[in-house]
């Protein structure tokens, strides 16, 4: 074990030195380790920046551990750390991690009392299990609808309120624009590849139709219902009509590319697109508008985007719990979240920041994101816990087959429901 | 190297014949390699096999021993386990089809390419280097590039074909159920044909020139020369290349993972295992699937080597 320690200390020193912590004396502080994303990402760079500030203020040191970019692979790595009781203090967690990692995370509620009312309730909810707050919301993401302001004006249309509006506008503008010479123009692009992004889209379709959240909060599988079938019938009808078949192999970058190139009227995506589209060198600067996800028909219809974003959790197996909690509090503080928004367009999780002067000066459209997050729909992760990845995979694989044209909506929801029932002993054992 | 040369006196004093001493020393010298093999090949294999007998999972399963139930068990709703999984056998089918088509095409195209490169055409040296480029690009990178190139909207392949009036509508390579597997196969063939060509080229270059001279003097035509002289002589090299490629193709993962994700149309054994292991965290179940995959590949390999061995021996004698 001694040799092990020497190696670990050696590694820490080398790592510390390369990261600029190589001070003459290491005597003062402790070394808190944090896994906050993957090298090169805006989020990671800003995490390093803020953590270093914290280190300087407290006399501690921070060790950064990079993790895979893919969310499911990151979760798998965390799982291995937990199983090995690895000494890692702070983990950046996706919205569905708490259910999986529950046993290994510290309840942060006692340490955050006064802060809780300032954070979006939706984010607190997805991070809370059995009354324990397992992670502190750090930055937000929510599904929103982008549209081409210039084109809607050109054809005297208003931004869509319902899916029916969106379909109508998409058809009209698509026909007209193609007649005007842009043969590659499409009405609506979204993420339809068989992956987590399709689950997000589907959660929005279902919720906006008032068709539930696939699995109800009590664990019962509810996806097989008439409103869900109506929502999916609508989505299926888009493919090849107002949406290119190519959306079925598209993730966010591919859909953004179509929109960015001026070949689509509507795009469903996340908040980051806004800063990309509004950048001074963007061909779309000043031509893009943003609305909440359209609602379905009838009284049950509502505007609701899928909720995404990341939180910070503290591992039970880290050696410096007190300092780790202090670091989490610092990183999720108002000042750091403001800095992260101003420098990296990362959406805050503190509601007050959406009315902050500096934030509004940079981005006047904050109100739209604020409303979207308030009315957002979570994926069914809280109720399915450790099996969430299975649930999502059943959902997106089934829906992808339906969108490809291999099955109809009725049969699809029936088979998804059957698989989920089998997975959970009819909703009793998640 | 100073190998102690045993003198007859030595051998007698230790009661060993020269032959025996040689055997002992052979084992001594081989032991580092054997130990390394045990550590890097046998150890993971054994741990995977052991894990396949447990219900270990990433979300805190305690790894209880569950016997063979990951492979096959009778549950309340019918048979369960890898061997009873429809999805598993579908991915085995996909893998088999993928392997058959890609290795077949790569062998034929690779052979043609090798013949061209082996001829003493001007510029065949730079050509040899250029041919290797697809092979040299990391698979994840080239899969990502191809995903963009094959996009229905704005993908360069579609744009080029539209401009050339080869097609009227853009082809949706990666979102048409009947084109997904072919598209992935196409990229694999593009990528690994150079490897095949190079291995076959190495074989071609060992064929002595005088054999061809003899054939020419005897007035044998080029086609007959190829089938009667070149092919039999290069066959061992081809066989080795095919075995290599086949083992590679059977465990294809990155290409499919990047280009389509785990969808029924393209899911292969390795993709299936990865989504259960990493995606769903089912270490026990995924290990069981890995063991089945290992057995399938091992059996296949034994069959090929056994059938090829006789021929190889027959030729060398």
Residue B279 has pLDDT above 60, yes or no: yes
- Phi and psi for A130 in degrees, rounded to 5? 50, 40
From B58, B154, B155, residue closest to A76, measured CB to CB:
B58
Least Cα distance to B226 among B107, B111, B317 occurs for B111
Is pLDDT at A296 greater than 90 in this prediction? yes
Domain ranges for chain B? 93-311
Q: B152, B257, B271, B275: best mutation site toward chain A, by most A Cβ within 10 Å?
A: B152
Identify the pLDDT of residue A236: 97
Residue B144: C-alpha distances to residues A266, B35, B194, B256 (Å): 25, 39, 19, 10
d(C-alpha A92, C-alpha A138), whole Å = 9
What is the average pLDDT across A324-350? 94
pLDDT of residue A396: 95
- Express each pLDDT in B103-117 by its tens digit: 999 999 999 999 988
Instruction: Assess whether pLDDT exceeds 50 at residue B158.
Output: yes
Tell whether A3 is covered by a domain.
Answer: no
Answer yes or no: do A160 and A98 share one domain: no
Confidence label for B310 from pLDDT (cuts 50, 70 and 90) = low
B-chain residues near A83 (CB < 8 A): 58, 60
Give me the residue from B58, B175, B280 closest to A80, CB to CB: B58
A330 in the same domain as A383: no
Domain CATH number, residue A277:
3.40.190.10
Name which residue leads in pLDDT, A18 or A366: A366
Same domain? A347 vs A391: no
Note the pLDDT tens digit of each residue in A108-154.
999 987 777 899 998 998 899 888 999 999 999 999 999 999 999 99
> Is the same domain home to A177 and A226?
yes
With respect to residue A269, please indicate whether it lies within any of the assigned structural domains: yes
pLDDT of residue A7: 44
Name chain A contacts of B174, Cβ cutoff 8 Å.
246, 248-249
A64 phi and psi, to 5 degrees? -100, 135
Mean pLDDT of B92-101: 96
B154 touches chain A (CB under 8 A): yes
Is residue A216 predicted with pLDDT exceeding 80? yes
Percent of chain B with pLDDT strictly greater than 90: 53
Looking at the structure of chain A, the number of domains it has is 2
Question: Residue A157 domain-assigned?
Answer: yes
**B60 vs A401: CB contact, 8 Å cut-off?**
no
* Beta strand ranges found along chain B (DSSP E): 73-75, 78-80
The predicted pLDDT at position A2 comes to 42
- The region that residue B60 occupies, defined by phi over 0 for left and psi between -120 and 50 for alpha, beta otherwise, is left
Asked whether residue A265 falls in the same domain as residue A414, the answer is: yes
Residue B312 is predicted with a pLDDT of 52
Please list every residue in chain B whose beta carbon sits closer than 8 Å to the beta carbon of residue A186. 153
Share of chain B above pLDDT 70, in %: 91
Tell me what pLDDT residue A421 has.
94
* Predicted pLDDT of residue A26: 45
Give whole-number Cα distances, A389 to A104, A206, B287, in Å. 18, 19, 18
| pLDDT at residue B152, as a whole number | 84
Residue A125: which domain range? Answer: 27-134+309-374
The reply to whether A199 and A119 lie within a common domain is no
Would the pLDDT of A347 be above 90?
yes
Judgement on whether residues A386 and A239 belong to the same structural domain of the protein: yes
A residues 237..276 contacting B (CB < 8 A): 244-250, 254, 257-258, 261, 263
The model's pLDDT over B169-208, given as tens digits with 9 standing for 90+, comes to 889 899 889 999 999 999 999 999 999 999 999 999 999 9
- pLDDT higher than 60, residue A22: no
**Which is more confident, B119 or A418?**
A418
Q: Which of A94-103, A154-163, B6-15, B225-234 has the largest mean confidence? A: A154-163
Note whether A288 and A339 are same-domain residues.
no
- What does the block give as tokens for A13? 């020193």
Task: Work out the average pLDDT over A337-363.
Answer: 93
| CA distance readout (Å), A90 to A86, B93, B294 | 11, 43, 38
| A245 contacts in chain B (CB < 8 Å) | 152, 172, 175-176
Q: Is A148 a member of any domain?
A: yes
Average pLDDT, chain A: 90
pLDDT digits (tens, 9 = 90+) for B203-246: 999 999 898 889 889 988 888 988 988 999 998 889 889 988 99
Confirm or reject contact between B75 and chain A (CB < 8 A): no
3-state secondary structure A216-276: CCCCCECCCCHHHHHHHHHHHHHECCCECHHHHHCCHHHHHHHHHCCCEEEEEECCHHHHH
CB A133 within 8 A of CB A112: yes
User: Residue B235 corresponds to which tokens in the numbers above?
Assistant: 């066959």
Does this model's pTM top 0.90? My answer is no
Chain mean pLDDT for chain B: 87
pLDDT digits (tens, 9 = 90+) for A366-415: 999 999 999 999 999 888 888 888 999 999 999 999 999 999 999 999 99
Burial A56-81 (b: 16+ CB within 10 A, else e): eebebbbbbbebeeebbebbbbbbeb
Read off the pLDDT band of B289 (50, 70, 90): very high
The answer on pLDDT for A12 being more than 70 is: no
pLDDT at A24: 39
Tokens of B180: 């997904």
Query: Residue A326 and residue A336: Cα distance in Å, rounded?
Result: 13
State residue B264's pLDDT score. 92
Residues A49 and A187 in one domain: no
| Distance in angstroms (rounded) separating the CA atoms of residues A429 and A220 | 10
Residues A72 and A168 in one domain: no
Q: Which carries the bigger pLDDT value, residue B46 or residue B63? A: B46
Of B162, B280, B283, B285, which to mutate for an interface test with A (greatest number of A Cβ within 10 Å)? Answer: B280
Residues of A in contact with B279 (CB under 8 A): 72, 76, 389, 393
pLDDT band at A248 (very low <50, low <70, confident <90, very high): very high
pLDDT at A20: 43
pLDDT of residue A6: 43
Q: How confident is the model at residue B119 (pLDDT cuts 50, 70, 90)?
A: confident
Looking at per-residue pLDDT, the higher value among A354 and B57 belongs to A354
Q: Is the Cβ of A79 closer than 8 Å to some Cβ of chain B?
A: yes
Confidence at B27, pLDDT banded by 50, 70, 90: very high
Q: Are residues A182 and A291 in the same domain?
A: yes
pLDDT (tens digit, 9 = 90+) per residue, B129-142? 888 899 999 999 99
Return the SS3 of B106. Answer: helix
pLDDT of residue B5: 53
CA distance A56 to chain B (A): 36
A249-263, A264-278, B12-26, range with the lowest pLDDT: B12-26
Whole-number Å distance between alpha carbons of A231 and A237: 10
pLDDT of residue B128: 83
Q: Which residue has the higher pLDDT, B309 or A202?
A: A202
Check if A426 contacts B (Cβ < 8 Å).
Answer: no
Q: Please list, residue by residue across A185-220, b when 16 or more beta carbons sit within 10 angstroms of its beta carbon and e when fewer do.
A: bbbbbbbbbbbbbbbbbbbbbbbbbbbbbbbeeebe
pLDDT at A13: 42
Q: Answer whether residue A9 shows pLDDT above 70.
A: no
Residue A18 has pLDDT above 50, yes or no: no
So what's the pLDDT on residue A289? 94
Residues of A in contact with B280 (CB under 8 A): 387, 389-390, 393
ipTM for this model? 0.77
Residues A280 and A264 in one domain: yes
Topology of the domain covering B93-311: MetI-like fold (1.10.3720)
Whether residues A193 and B280 touch (CB distance < 8 A) is answered with no
Pairwise CB contact (< 8 Å): B60 & A400:
no
Rounded Cα–Cα distance for residues B238 and B201 (Å):
9
């Amino acid at each position: 074990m001694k040799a092990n320690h020497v190696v670990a200390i050696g590694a820490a020193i080398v790592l510390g030195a390369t990261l600029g912590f190589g001070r003459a004396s290491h005597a003062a502080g402790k070394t808190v380790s944090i896994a906050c994303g993957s090298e090169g990402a805006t989020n990671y760079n800003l995490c390093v920046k803020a953590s270093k500030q914290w280190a300087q203020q407290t006399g501690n040191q921070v060790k950064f551990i990079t993790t895979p970019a893919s969310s499911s692979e990151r979760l798998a790595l965390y799982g291995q750390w937990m199983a090995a009781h690895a000494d890692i203090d702070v983990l950046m967690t996706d919205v569905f991690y708490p259910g999986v990692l529950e046993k290994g995370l510290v309840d942060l509620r006692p340490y955050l009392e006064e802060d809780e009312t300032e954070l979006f309730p939706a984010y607190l909810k997805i991070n809370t299990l059995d009354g324990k707050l397992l992670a502190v919301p750090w930055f937000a993401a929510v599904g929103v609808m982008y549209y081409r302001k210039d084109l809607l004006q050109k054809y005297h249309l208003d931004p869509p309120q319902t899916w029916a509006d969106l379909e109508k506008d998409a058809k009209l503008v698509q026909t007209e624009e193609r007649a005007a010479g842009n043969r590659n123009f499409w009405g609506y692009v979204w993420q339809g590849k068989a992956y987590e992004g399709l689950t997000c889209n589907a959660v929005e379709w279902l919720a906006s139709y008032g068709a539930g959240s696939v699995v109800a909060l009590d664990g019962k599988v509810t996806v097989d219902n008439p409103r869900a079938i109506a929502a999916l019938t609508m989505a299926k009808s888009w493919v090849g009509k107002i949406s290119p078949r190519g959306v079925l192999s598209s993730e966010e970058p591919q859909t953004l590319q179509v929109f960015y190139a001026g070949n689509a009227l509507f795009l469903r995506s996340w908040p980051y697109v806004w800063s990309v589209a509004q950048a001074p060198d963007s061909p779309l600067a000043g031509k893009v508008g943003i609305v909440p996800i359209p609602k379905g028909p009838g009284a049950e219809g509502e505007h609701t985007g899928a909720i995404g974003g990341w939180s910070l959790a503290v591992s039970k197996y880290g050696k410096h719990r007190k300092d780790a909690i202090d670091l989490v509090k610092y990183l999720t503080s108002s000042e750091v979240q403001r800095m992260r928004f101003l420098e990296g367009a990362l959406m805050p999780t503190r509601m007050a920041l959406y009315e902050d002067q500096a934030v509004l000066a940079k981005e006047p459209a904050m109100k739209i994101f604020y409303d979207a997050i308030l009315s957002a729909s979570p994926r069914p992760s809280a109720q399915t816990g450790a099996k969430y990845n299975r649930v999502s995979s059943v959902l997106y694989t089934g829906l992808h087959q339906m969108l490809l044209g291999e099955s109809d909506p009725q049969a699809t929801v029936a088979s998804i429901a059957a698989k989920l029932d089998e997975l959970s002993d009819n909703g009793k054992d998640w | 190297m100073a190998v102690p040369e045993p003198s007859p006196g030595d051998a007698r004093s230790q009661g060993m014949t020269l032959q025996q001493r040689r055997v002992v020393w052979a084992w001594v010298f081989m032991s580092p390699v054997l130990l390394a093999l045990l550590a890097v090949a046998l150890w993971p294999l054994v741990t995977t096999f052991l894990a396949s007998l447990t219900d270990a999972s990433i979300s805190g399963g305690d790894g209880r021993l569950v016997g063979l139930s990951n492979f096959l068990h009778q549950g309340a709703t019918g048979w369960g386990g890898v061997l009873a999984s429809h999805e598993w056998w579908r991915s085995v089918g996909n893998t088999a089809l993928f392997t058959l088509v890609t290795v077949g095409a790569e062998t034929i195209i690779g052979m043609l390419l090798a013949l061209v490169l082996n001829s003493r055409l001007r510029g065949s040296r730079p050509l040899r280097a250029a041919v290797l480029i697809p092979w040299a690009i990391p698979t994840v990178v080239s899969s990502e590039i191809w995903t963009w190139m094959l996009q229905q909207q704005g993908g360069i392949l579609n744009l080029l074909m539209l401009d050339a009036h080869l097609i009227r509508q853009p082809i949706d390579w990666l979102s048409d159920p009947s084109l997904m597997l072919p598209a992935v196969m196409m990229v694999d063939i593009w990528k690994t044909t150079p490897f095949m060509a190079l291995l076959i080229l190495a074989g071609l270059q060992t064929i002595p020139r005088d054999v061809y001279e003899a054939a020419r003097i005897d007035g044998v035509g080029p086609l007959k020369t190829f089938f009667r002289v070149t092919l039999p002589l290069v066959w061992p090299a081809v066989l080795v290349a095919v075995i290599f490629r086949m083992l590679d193709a059977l465990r294809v993962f990155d290409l499919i993972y990047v280009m389509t994700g785990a969808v029924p149309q393209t899911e292969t054994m390795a993709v299936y295992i990865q989504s259960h292991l990493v995606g769903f965290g089912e270490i026990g179940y995924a290990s069981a699937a890995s063991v089945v995959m290992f057995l399938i590949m091992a059996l296949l390999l034994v069959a090929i080597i056994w059938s090829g061995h006789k021929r190889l021996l027959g030729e060398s004698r």
